[in-house]
Each structure stands twice: as structure tokens, then as C-alpha cells.
Structure 1
Amino acid sequence: MEKPHFRVALLHPRYWLTWSLFGLWYLVAQLPYRWQMTLGRGVGKLMLRFAKSRRIIAERNLALCFPELPPRKREQLLRRNFASNGIALMETGMAWFRSSQWLRKRFTIEGLEYLQAPHERGQGVVMMAMHFTTLEIGAAFMSMSHPVDGMYRPHKNPVYDYMQRKGRERHGESSNVLQRKDVRGMLRALQKGRAVWYAPDQDYGIKQGVFAPLFGVPAATVTGTSRFARVGRAQVVPYTVTRLEEKGLYHVKVFPPLAEIPSGDEQKDAVLVNQFVEARMRENPSQYMWVHRRFKTRPEGEEPFYPARKRRRKKRKPLASR
């Protein structure tokens, strides 16, 4: 995709509120790190109280994945998790608005050689990410450490879309952005020896995947990981980003390639992917995004785990405009 360009149309009065909110976000991002952590935890408390639908989803996910925990322990985990989600808002501001020099002082990285080795021999890499709350700031750390092409979903608000792309691309001059639906573009990048960011841990429906166990629960799992690795002749290299809040630091860990993928059996590969993802979720459960409906798609005959979403009624146009 082309680099984002500013357009005069983005200054239309209908976007002034959006620009004002971005201005506030920018100012908050300049605050000392400790202050931002405190603000983030406060936002998390508000989310826990008022984002009832997200709380219900997170509670259900934790009950499904950690049935062995007493209710009191799960409630404590839930509260820590919502605090982490609030902090993620602050971290997004840091990633988009703080300097690369400031960010470089905030993280350590381990295992970078697992990305460098295939790059040197011209082999592509499927950088397997997971939806932890550190996802946005972690992407900035990775793009400062190695050229990475990111998957991107356009935002409906053009100002937000512009700022999002600017924020994500500013730390990696040789990094590119690919639309999430641009499968051909992703394959071309892999075949050219690029590293492409890809997260297989959300529920996109069974049409794009298979059911594979996650915490012992059948979960609709995309088979893109193995297909991209096979067609793109690429290695699958996972990584995680852990917030070490007490130290004011983050640790990026790049894992050795998942050599078993692709195996030629997409079902087997999906099981391997979920086993790896589950292990990382167990290591750091409070920083995972439990607010997503990970078990939304159920096998035929099974009852849904989450309450049905309320459909918004479309506003009817006035008779005069029909």
C-alpha cells in the first residue's frame, strides 16, 4: 500500500472532535510512564464497571479456560486483566506519539536471530503474534528491531485511519502495510523474503478454519498460518511482548521457528498453533485480551457461550428524502 498522505478533506468540521481527542491522547502520551500506568489502571476500572458486555465475555472466557480456579481467583484475574486493557490505551499512545529514541529505552529483545537467519537467506517469515494487551506497543518494538510488514484493517473514520497508519509506520522505514484481506499481497511479500505479522488467535468463523482444542474447548481456528507458510515457502516464527510494569520495561521474546508447520495437514497444524498459543496465555493470563469472543463459533448442535448481540436498528430516512 502507499504511505498515508494527509488530505485537506480531513480538516472538515465533522472531524474536529476526532482531532481534539487525538490532541488529548498526544498530550497524555507525553506524561511520565508511571503516571500513564496509573491512568491506564483507572481507565480499566471504568471499563470493568461500564463495559458490561465486554466484562461478561471476559468472565465467560476465564471460566472456560481456567475452571480449576476458585471464583475469587478468577475475579482477581479479571480485575488485573481490565487494568491491563486500560494500560493498553496508554501504550498505544506511546507507540504512536513518543519518539523512537524514548521507546528504545523501554524494551529488551531476545531471540532476534530467529528472524535474522531466514532474512539473510531470503526466506520469508510468518511472524505469529497473539492478541495480548501489549500488541500495539509490541508492534512498534518489533518494527524498530527488524523490517516487518503488518496486516491492517482500514477504519471507518478517515482521521482515525490516517493517524493509525502514521502511528504504526513511523518506527520502521522499510516496513510496509498490507490490508488484512490482501492475501496475494501477503504471499508475495513472503515469497520475497519479507517478515509478515499475522495473528491466528481470533475467531473468524469456520469457513476460514477448523475446530481445534484451546484449553480443551473446540475453537474455530484459522488455517492461514500453515497455508501462508506452505505457499509462501516461509517459516513460522512466534513472538510475545510482556509488560514488566514494576521495572517500567517490556520484554520481547522471539521464539524458535515452529518447524512442524506446515505439516501438510491443516487440522494438525491448527492444533499445534493452539497448543503454542495456550502455553503463552497460561504464562501471562492477566495481559491477554480476554474481552474477545474467542469461542463465538460453536460446533453444530452446541449452545453459544455468549449472550446474543443486540442488533442496531437502522435509522429510517425522512419521507421527504425518499
Structure 2
Amino acid sequence: MTQQRNDFDELAYNPQFQFSFLAPKYWGTWLGVFIACLTSLLPNSIQYFFAKQLAKIAVKLKSGAAKRARINLSMCFPAQTKQEREKTLFDMYVTATMFMMNFASLSVRNKNWLEHHTEIRGFENIQNILKAGENVILLVPHTWAIDIPAVLFASRGYPVSAMAKSQKNQLADWLMHRQRVQHGGRVYDRSVGIKPFIKSIRKDNYLGYYLPDEDLGKDHSVFVDFFATQKATISGLGRLSKLSKAKIVPLFAMFNGKTGQFELDVYPALPFPTDNEHTDARMMNECIEHYVSQRPEQYMWILRLLKTRPNGGNNPYK
């Protein structure tokens, strides 16, 4: 167990409750929170039944999310049949719905519940590095259960430092932030830059939380292979590893709809840095491909993963 920390940092993101959150414009959000709290108490078998029914509806709707997911799947897996890709889409919606039904459990239940409802494999890959006096940056792709490791590790005494973008809905943003740091940790808004994040890892020994699959545009990326296409991939992880003196440890977070359990797979550290941005970026994408190929229903295919195209190509989502 790590020593007790003072998580305060004046540069960290720290939204506060506002009385305006009680205004009618937020009543729909409060209703959603109330329903989420109720569904989190349902038996897993009932949740799974409702999730499948809602997924059947979701795949038929002409929503932007379903459109983006179909575009991503067709670009990444052109060799698959349409039926195979539609099955992945359906299974993803089941996973997403099940996770949403259980997301409130992180707040309405205690940390013992989270511990007993999470199966973690390979945690020694983090512990051994920390015992050796070295720092860790977790490489965490966008799965539906992406918030679970940070909350779980903080509850064990290993707070996480992350960078995130605030939500447009200020009430939802405040609630999500409170849930993420309920056991400790820091979240930095991108507007403060990367230095506070590096300091929290290098000097304060926080676990860094790095999202490798965001599309931040061509100015912050290199184009490397991603499944059957190419993706604008964040290029600075090698430098970040050097500056923070941290090992890069891959982590894949999942929610098993059939068991109602969270599952975390922690892998051995990767050989970062290679001193080559393209090699580093490709190594990250290979990790994602390895995880996602085994459990494609866990991945957030609804994201704009491929909006920035090589050679000035058109945004496929427009």
C-alpha cells in the first residue's frame, strides 16, 4: 500500500457544485442519474435482458453514434461481412448498456463492492515496477469500462493522474469528476498543458493514465497503421516516458455482461521509448489491435477515431 497523499493541486481540474444545477434545464440529467442508481441495484440477469432489448432498438436507429460505429468497423475490418460487423455493433451496444446500468454503482456502493466485483489479472506488472522505485504510465484504450481501473487503484491506495476534456453538461461533468476522484487522484484539463501531469508522475509518484487512441489532429499525431486502415496517432508517448521516467504498462478494462463483473487485464511494460515517433505510435496501435481483436464488443466504436485522414483526406463522418 502506498503512503497517504495530499491530492490537492491548484492546477488540477476541480469543478464545484452550483445551485444552478437545480434549474429545470438539468432536471433531465437528475432523472437519468436517479434511473441509473435504480438500475444498478437490479440483478444482473434482468439487466442483461433489458440490455439486449435496447441494443436491438439501437442498431435500428439512424443515430450518429451507430453511423460512426459502422464507418469505423467497415474501415478497420473491410474483410468481414456486413453481418459480422453488425454482430459486433449489437454486442457493443449490449456491453455499453450493461455498463451504463452499473456505472452508478461506483458511487452508490462502497469500495469493497468494487473490489469483489472486479477481476484483475496481471496487477503484479504494476506492483513490481513500483517496488523497484520506478514510475508507471498506464496505456488505457477507450473501452466502456475505462473509468474503472482509476477508481479501483485509488481505492487500493494507488491514486491516478489523468488528463481529460470537460463535458458540455456541467452537472454531468461535476458528477463524473466526483466519482473519478472519490478515493483520491488528480485530473488535469488539457488547457493547463502537459507539465503538471508529468510532475504528478515523476515527483509525486502517481500512476499516469494515458489514452492512446484519441484523434488530436495532424499537428499532434503521426499516421500509422490501425487494423486495415491508418490512424492519426498521438506521437509523444516516448518523450512522455522519458520526461516522467516512467514505464509504459498496457491496461485493458472490460465489463462482462454475462457475469456482471468488471475485468482488468494488465500487461507487461512495453519497450518505450524507441526514439522513433512512428515506431512508438505503431507499438501503441498494435496493443489496441491485440486487445480489441479478442474482445471487440468492449471498444467504443462510436468515437470519431478516424476523423483525421492521411494526405488531407475527407473526414469520413461528414
CA deviations over 1:15-45 (Å, ceiling 9, x no partner): 3443233222222222223323333333333
Aligned to 2:233, which of 221, 241, 244?
221
- Shift in Å, 1:4: 5.2
CA deviations over 1:248-300 (Å, ceiling 9, x no partner): 323211111102x1111111110111111111111111211111121111111
- Shift in Å, 1:129: 0.2
* Contact 2:39 2:102 (C-alpha < 8 Å) held by counterparts: no
Q: Please say if 1:34 is aligned against 2:58.
A: no
* Contact 2:98 2:257 (C-alpha < 8 Å) held by counterparts: no
Aligned to 1:167, which of 150, 173, 179?
179
Q: Which has the larger radius of gyration?
A: 1
**Aligned CA-pair RMSD:** 2.2
User: What are the ranges of 5 or more consecutive residues in structure 2 without an aligned counterpart?
Assistant: 1-11
* Contact 1:44 1:84 (C-alpha < 8 Å) held by counterparts: no
**Cα distance 1:150–1:98, how it changes in 2: closer, same or farther (>3 A)?**
farther
What corresponds to 1:23 in structure 2?
34
Q: Please say if 1:241 is aligned against 2:243.
A: no
Q: TM-score, normalised on structure 1?
A: 0.86
Q: Please say if 1:188 is aligned against 2:229.
A: no
What corresponds to 2:86 in structure 1?
75
* Contact 1:42 1:86 (C-alpha < 8 Å) held by counterparts: no
Q: Please say if 1:178 is aligned against 2:177.
A: no
- Shift in Å, 1:9: 4.2
CA distance in 1, matches of 2:17, 2:197: 26
- Shift in Å, 1:186: 0.7
CA deviations over 1:191-250 (Å, ceiling 9, x no partner): 122211111112111111100101131210011322211211111111112333333323
Q: Which amino acid aligns with 2:186?
A: N
Aligned to 1:89, which of 94, 100, 106?
100
Q: Map of 1:193-208 to 2, 5 A cutoff?
A: 193-208=205-220
* Contact 1:203 1:222 (C-alpha < 8 Å) held by counterparts: yes
* Contact 2:150 2:159 (C-alpha < 8 Å) held by counterparts: no
* Contact 2:36 2:100 (C-alpha < 8 Å) held by counterparts: no
Aligned to 1:209, which of 182, 199, 221?
221
Q: Map of 1:232-311 to 2, 5 A cutoff?
A: 232-259=244-271, 261-300=272-311, 302-306=313-317, 308=318
What corresponds to 1:137 in structure 2?
148
CA distance in 2, matches of 1:130, 1:277: 7
CA distance in 2, matches of 1:87, 1:51: 21
Q: Please say if 1:54 is aligned against 2:65.
A: yes
Aligned to 1:111, which of 108, 122, 140?
122
* Contact 1:41 1:84 (C-alpha < 8 Å) held by counterparts: no
What corresponds to 1:124 in structure 2?
135
CA deviations over 1:59-95 (Å, ceiling 9, x no partner): 1221222222222222222211222222232232223
Where 2:60 maps in the other structure, the secondary structure is helix
CA deviations over 1:83-126 (Å, ceiling 9, x no partner): 22222322322233332222221112122122223323443211
Higher relative contact order (CA 8 A, sep 6+): 2
Q: Which amino acid aligns with 1:21?
A: G
**Cα distance 1:29–1:220, how it changes in 2: closer, same or farther (>3 A)?**
same
**Cα distance 1:114–1:105, how it changes in 2: closer, same or farther (>3 A)?**
same
CA distance in 2, matches of 1:18, 1:43: 20
User: What are the ranges of 5 or more consecutive residues in structure 1 without an aligned counterpart?
Assistant: 309-322
Aligned to 1:154, which of 166, 186, 195?
166
* Contact 1:91 1:136 (C-alpha < 8 Å) held by counterparts: no
CA distance in 1, matches of 2:256, 2:35: 26
What corresponds to 1:313 in structure 2?
none
* Contact 2:232 2:308 (C-alpha < 8 Å) held by counterparts: yes
* Contact 2:241 2:247 (C-alpha < 8 Å) held by counterparts: yes
Q: Which amino acid aligns with 2:69?
A: A
Identity %: 27
Where 2:311 maps in the other structure, the secondary structure is coil
